[in-house]
Structure 1
Amino acid sequence: MELFNVAAQQLQHLAEHCAASKLWLAAAILAPLLIAFLIFTFVAPRNAPPSLWDPIPYVFNTIQFAFNNERFMVRVANILQNSRIAKFHLVSTPVFLVSGPENIQTLFARSHKVGNETIFLENVFPALYRMSREEKQRFADDKSGRGRQPAPGTEHMPSHMRYWHGYEHVHSEYLSRAQHQRPMAEQFQTFISAALDTQFPPGEPKTVSVIDFCRRHVAEAAVKTLLGPRIFELFPDVLDAFWEFDRNICLITLAPPKWLIPGPHRAQERFYAIMRKYVAAAYADFDSDAAETDQAGWKPESGARVSRELVKWLKEKGFRDEVAVGALAMLMFAMTSNTIPIVMWMMIEITRDPSLLCAVRDEVAQAYVAGKDHGSRTLDLDKLAAMPFLQSVFAEVLRLHMNFNLMRNVNEPIVVEGFKLPRGSMLQAPMKVAHYDEMIWGAPGHAAAQFWAERHIRYDETADADGGVRKVPVFAMAGRPSSYFPFGGGQQICPGRHLAKNEIFTTIALLVSKFEIEPLEWTNSDGSPSLRAARGDARFSGIGAMPPDRDLKMRWTRTG
């Protein structure tokens, strides 16, 4: 009560001052705001979890979450040290932040009590897919869920009206299944090999920017794999437009008014204008009936089968061409935005450690097999994906540099940590909190926040040909799956994760096997020398993979 007495006295002094100054209107406005602030701050319900401090209720945390996410996540990590659940408001929506394997499993559960459909309906579909209200309503009316079996109570839903399942099926079928994924992985190897051979003549040392190489050559190979090379023939600047869009996607998704923040809207329109013309050219003669019998895994005109199947499904369901533009734009984003920064970090970590570079190079040598052409060699992608050091470095880079909150809407009231979370609220599992948990990931001499190439390596004893015993490295995750979710989890886990891994491993394997590599210096974005090594770029906190905020210049000499 003492706090309220002090507040009352302050309000009285404020009113007297305003009256004396003829500012009674200001007092009338400020007094209710101050009272609301005191109630919000000091009279929190006793049966509610601890709240993240919000000096301007509903406003401060929302703005910091969107515009200074790194600082916001520091505050989140601090409050979750003492409680496995905390609360804040994202505008007017109550958000419950959770940590701990059991609580994170709540987000992964194959249950209709939680899901991300509302996020898509309110933000993703209108802002990124450019769906009209009527097109979005088709998804909103479908309560049957994404699974093969309709949700309880919706068994009557006709299959052609199960929009969530159809949308999910296209991505999971043509990105995840081996028979569809393999042609894409092989095509990527062809594109990135050609780029290396063209750009780097044998025996000629070249100074290379890690960031520029990845954002140009690796990204180009990935986009050609997905959409076909024609997009670069028509629009040579497509990657420039894409990376500008990528930098602004968080604000684009929040959809602020164009007059208030015009930059993100301009970035989206530039990229979508290119994608619009590409779709018109690539699908000018598209016939959905003919597409029924089109079994090609990859075509030069339109790229991977997943792209064609996505366009086909949207056209069959009666969506406008603009939705197909947004869908392909988001498919390109999903398969590029996170993959490229992870390639950067793997290049950096492997080449900075000579012993690790040698170990990875030895592994890659075992993955080469005879190619179709006489005397040629190619990478066996299955062997490559099983290499322990490559897998350990990959897992460690993902753990340290993937940074977003896994989000689910609460569709039915649920209980977490003894608190009843209401329908309409949101659950978030901060990836950075789980991935940096010292109790799970820490090891003697190797803090959880530091990169350690062997964190996920176990050494098993095996007999050699001479009857002796030697230790063999084996990949083994250092933590439980519920404490490690760089690709999300549950039914909404990223369907493109296997293709992304193949593309990343292929790039690293070709580099270490074809080049002598010497790290030179760290540089700032303007090219000037940097006095420190790279950290995750704070501008991408909360969005996904955080690229390095410093570049590493290297000297490459092609040997093979």
Structure 2
Amino acid sequence: MQVEHYDTSWPAPGLENQTFRTQQPDKATSLHQTLLDTDFHLGILNMIQQPYALGLLSCLPFILTYILTQVESKTAMQSSKVGRKAPLTPYAIPIIGHAAMFVWSLGALVHKNNARFGKYVPVRFRGMFTELAFVSGPKNVALIFRRSKDFAAKASVVIAMDRLFGSPQRTVRFYDDDNSGMEMVPHSYSNVREEDRIHHIVHVQVIKYLSGNGLKPMTQRFMENMGRQIFTSGVGSEWLEMDDLFGFCQVKLLEASLDAMFGPYLTALNPNFVDDYWKFDQSTAYLLKGFPKWIVPQSWKARQRCLDSLKKYNAYANKLHDGDGRKDYEGLDPFFGTEFIRQRKEAMSKMGTFDEDAIAAEDLAIMWATNSNSIPAAFWFLYEIFSDPVLLSRVREEVDECILPSSDPDAPPQFDLTALGNSPLLQSCYAETLRLRTAILVTRVPEHDDFQLGDYVFPKNNLIMVASQTAHMDEDVWNTGTSEAPHPINTFWAERFLVHPDAPGSGPLKHAKAQRPKQSLPEIPESVKEKPRFSTEGLSGAWIPYGGGQTLCPGRHYAKQEMLVTFAILASAFDLEILHEPGVKTEANTKYFGLGVMPPKDKTPIRIRRRKQTVL
């Protein structure tokens, strides 16, 4: 018999008040009884009694592997030794271990073991001579992010450049050999040339051009492009039905975004690039998991078409740039699209291993980082708000306040991007969309020494992973409404991130008061009531759609602008209705678990028309 109790034997430094739920066996249970106390082992004993001993010999390695890893797991769970490894998840296949599960059903594996070992208990997985650990719990995740300097994040970059983006092997080794770190001052043991510090150079450029004032020229052009894309799409005052909202977003948003970042020549020279890109994106899961070309030939071909198109574009833009008398353009660049893209190419041209193939792979990488998550996120943002007419009306009020005056009533609306980004309800919808639909795996590797978290030790050079969906679905952290008005953690709640001054139980964090029925509040005149404010306070390690620490997603600011601007244009100038049958909802495609924002599994039919007050 197993007894569930609360155990506080694993408080990471400063986490003494955090509770960890573990499963412990009764102390009277012997090891022999423990090994036989499952249907699995009883079944094995029954089989051995049958006259099929020869056949069972072939099963013996699997049986022994499961028993041994089960013993190792239970021993770790019962141990109170400081400096012990995290408990191992049992497995039955020698050598391969959990590798097959990682390829085919990673999400199910993570969720199952969160339930098996209890909340906030780290777990280990093993397969193909590799071992990694999953860590959960907001305080533990936040601690890992705060101690970014103790970890190397380049492992995920090296894997992505190699498997996903098809970088030449000599360039992959170049990424892997850069041990100088991301900081301005390189690590003391590094002998990498300053101009070869690829991780630092990319980090600095991303901060400069994809945030703050450096991002403004690109977001302004995206807004203009998006308005033009939608206003010239043939949608008039009569309802027009479309079979898929996500397909609409894929085409319109990517075309607007590519022009904003890379300029007009990429798609002008390669008219099929948008279609090729999404075929490549659909192959992401197979490529990242290392499927060879002979198994998924279409995936490799789709990527190669994208790389060939990028090489063609780069050669053309370089020729125009070399023939131009003026070499430097601030913000927007007439040939490369933006100063950001031009500066990246100039920096990489000084690195000996970066030829046209390597630069094309880097272009594909930044394109993927800024679009392959933001566009599915924009779809979910539109889907949730346009599915709720009451919510749509409220959010439209915020959007209307951000429209800039225009002398041309027929032109697409322009918005004050700062005001748009500060709109409380709009921001809450944005944050809730990412909480509900993002499923990334944040990877870290202890670079210098073993990493200790409470009583557990994670060996140097072994992968540590954090699953955002585990953090985002933690019912002990998130506000789920009141007993009168519940908002389950697995549903979209537009106001989850809003703090109402007159409602003590509001805000994203779970409150004891928030779970009880609301007590009647005295009526406050509307003119006196304070407006709600958007808040992510207290969510360090709990709301992590972009990862954390030094390696936050480089495209996060641009992604937010894409989402808000796309919705603002559609909401202010168009009516849009979701055409699902009653009770039918669009579900996420869990095949993309671990890769970012999960796209929809099926098509979402809509109808759309110009709003009457904006008809040409």
TM-score of the aligned structures, taking structure 2 as reference length: 0.80
- Residue 518 of structure 1 deviates from its aligned partner by 2.8
Contact 1:200 1:558 in 2 (8 A): no
Distance in 1 separating the partners of 2:338 and 2:200: 21
Does residue 407 in structure 1 map to residue 459 in structure 2? no
Please name the residue that 1:526 is paired with: none
Q: How far off is 1:216 after superposition?
A: 1.1
1:513 to 545, 555, 572: 572
Aligned position for 1:274:
309
Task: For residue 62 of structure 1, report the CA deviation from its aligned partner.
Answer: 1.8
* Superposition deviation, residue 287 in structure 1: 4.5
C-alpha distance in structure 2 between counterparts of 1:397 and 1:90, whole Å: 34
Task: List per-residue Cα deviations over 1:506-535 (Å, max 9, x = no partner).
Answer: 11001110012333225xxxxxxx962112
| Structure 1 position 10, deviation (Å) | 9.4
Of residues 426, 443, 456 in structure 1, which corresponds to 2:481? 443
Alignment of 1:42 with 2:71, yes or no, is yes
State the partner residue of 1:195.
229
Among candidates 107, 113, 116, match of residue 76 of structure 1:
113
Report if aligned partners of 2:168, 2:357 keep a CA contact under 8 Å in 1: no
The verdict on how the C-alpha distance between 1:481 and 1:272 changes in structure 2, with shifts beyond 3 A counting, is same
* Residues 1:363 and 2:401 are matched in the alignment: no
User: Which AA in structure 1 matches 2:539?
Assistant: R
Are residues 1:554 and 2:592 paired? no
* Secondary structure of 1:112's aligned partner: helix
| Shift, 1:402, TM fit | 0.6
Q: 1:511 to 1:423 in 2, by over 3 A?
A: same
Moved more, 533-542 or 227-236: 227-236
Preserved contact between residue 361 and residue 513 of structure 1 (Cα < 8 Å): yes
Matches of 2:607 and 2:148, distance apart in 1? 52
- Alignment counterpart, residue 293 of structure 2, candidates 235, 258, 270: 258
The answer (yes or no) to whether the contact 1:11–1:31 under 8 Å persists in 2 is: no
Structure 1 residues 139 and 211, CA gap change in structure 2 (3 angstroms): closer
How many Å separate the matches in 2 of 1:82 and 1:260?
38
Does 1:487 find its partner at 2:525?
Answer: no
Q: Distance in 2 between matches of 1:288 and 1:114?
A: 45
Corresponding letter in the other structure for 2:400: A
Of the candidates 358, 372, 378, which is equivalent to residue 414 of structure 2?
378
| C-alpha displacement of 1:267 | 2.7
CA contact (8 A) 1:107 1:427 kept: no
Q: How does 1:98-247 map to 2 (within 5 A)?
A: 98-121=135-158, 123-154=159-190, 158-176=193-211, 178-208=212-242, 209-247=244-282
CA distance in structure 1 between the partners assigned to 2:561 and 2:433 by the alignment: 15
* Cα distance in 1, alignment partners of residues 407 and 145 from structure 2: 43
| TM-aligned CA deviation for residue 304 of structure 1 | 2.3
The separation in 2 between residues aligned to 1:110 and 1:148, in whole angstroms, is: 17
Structure 1: tracts of 5 or more residues without a match: 523-529
Work out which of the residue numbers 328, 348, 357 in structure 1 matches 2:363.
Answer: 328
User: Equivalents in 2 of 1:65, 1:382: separation in Å?
Assistant: 42
Deviation by residue 1:90-137 (Cα, 9 ceiling, x = unmatched): 53222111111221023313443212213333x223234544444333
Deviation at 1:450, TM superposition (A): 1.2
Distance 1:63 1:112 in 2: 32
Is the contact between residue 61 and residue 94 of structure 2 (CA under 8 Å) also seen in structure 1? Answer: no
1:62 to 96, 99, 111: 99
Quote the Cα distance in structure 1 between the aligned partners of 2:417 and 2:153.
33
Say if 2:69 and 2:88, in contact at 8 Å, map to a contact too.
Answer: no
Deviation at 1:14, TM superposition (A): 10
CA contact (8 A) 1:402 1:546 kept: yes
- 1:120-168: CA deviation from partner (whole Å, max 9, x where unpaired): 33x22323454444433333333220111223444x7542242321122
Partner AA of 2:424 in structure 1: P
Q: Which amino acid aligns with 1:321?
A: E
Range 376-385 or range 138-147, more displaced: 138-147
Q: Which SS does the other structure have where 1:268 is aligned?
A: helix
Q: For 1:80 and 1:506, how far apart are their aligned partners in 2?
A: 43
Rounded to whole Å, the distance in 2 between the matches of 1:242 and 1:260 is: 20
CA contact (8 A) 1:351 1:518 kept: yes
Given that residues 66 and 91 in structure 2 are in contact (C-alpha distance below 8 angstroms), is that contact kept between their aligned partners in structure 1? no
CA distance in 1, matches of 2:529, 2:389: 23
Question: Are residue 456 (structure 1) and residue 485 (structure 2) matched?
Answer: no
Measured at CA, do residues 87 and 14 of structure 1 come closer, stay the same or move farther in structure 2, by a change above 3 Å? farther
Separation in 2 of the partners of 1:334 and 1:137? 21
CA change 1:7–1:64 in 2 (3 A) is: closer
My pick for the range that moved more, 330-339 or 275-284, is 275-284
- The number of residue pairs the alignment matches comes to 538
Shift of 1:199: 1.2
Name the CA distance, whole Å, in 2 between partners of 1:134 and 1:386. 45
- Residue 536 (structure 1) aligned with residue 588 (structure 2): yes
1:456 corresponds to which letter in structure 2?
Answer: F
Deviation per residue, 1:348-399 (Å, 9 max, x gap)? 1111111111111110111012258799652010010000111000000000
TM-score normalised per structure 1:
0.87
Q: Structure 1 residues 131, 202: CA separation in 2 closer, same or farther (over 3 Å shift)?
A: closer
Tell me whether 302-311 or 381-390 shows the greater mean CA deviation.
Answer: 302-311
Distance 2:338 2:292 in 1: 36
**What secondary structure sits across from 1:470 in the alignment?**
coil
Q: Structure 2 CA distance, aligned partners of 1:446 and 1:117?
A: 38
- The reply to whether residue 389 of structure 1 matches residue 428 of structure 2 is no
Residues 476/120 of structure 1: CA separation in 2 closer, same or farther (3 Å cut): closer
Q: Aligned pair in 2 of structure 1 residues 201, 127: CA closer, same or farther (>3 Å)?
A: closer
d(CA) in 2 for partners of 1:482, 1:84? 15
Task: State which of 432, 442, 446 in structure 1 corresponds to 2:469.
Answer: 432
Letter in 2 for 1:448: I
The RMSD of aligned alpha carbons is 3.1
Cα 1:467/1:64, change in 2 over 3 Å: closer
3-state DSSP of counterpart to 1:557:
strand
SS in structure 2 of the partner of residue 257 of structure 1: coil
Q: After the TM superposition, which of the residue ranges 385-394 and 100-109 deviates more from structure 2?
A: 100-109
1:52 pairs with one of 70, 86, 89: 89
The verdict on how the C-alpha distance between 1:537 and 1:262 changes in structure 2, with shifts beyond 3 A counting, is same
Deviations 1:332-351 (A, max 9, x none): 11111101111111111111
> Quick one: distance in 2 between partners of 1:15 and 1:227?
70
Cα distance change on mapping 1:531 and 1:157 into 2, 3 Å: same
Tell me the amino acid that sits aligned with residue 155 of structure 2: T
1:297: which partner in 2? 331
Counterparts in 2 of 1:309 and 1:421: CA distance versus 1, 3 Å: same
Select between 346-355 and 162-171 the one with higher mean Cα deviation. Answer: 162-171
More helix by share: 1
Whether contact under 8 Å (2:441, 2:468) holds in the other structure is yes
338-347 vs 266-275, which moves further: 266-275
**Percent identical residues:** 25
Q: Which residue of 2 aligns with 1:317?
A: 351
Distance in 1 (CA, whole Å) between partners of 2:235 and 2:53 is 78
Whether contact under 8 Å (1:88, 1:95) holds in the other structure is yes
The verdict on how the C-alpha distance between 1:48 and 1:195 changes in structure 2, with shifts beyond 3 A counting, is: same
User: How far does residue 467 in structure 1 lie from its aligned partner after superposition?
Assistant: 9.9
Residue 558 of structure 2 aligns with an amino acid whose one-letter code is: L
How far off its partner does 1:418 sit?
Answer: 0.9
* Displacement of 1:181: 0.6
* Residues in 2 aligned to 1:31 and 1:353: alpha-carbon distance in whole angstroms: 57
Question: Which residue identity is paired with 1:42?
Answer: V
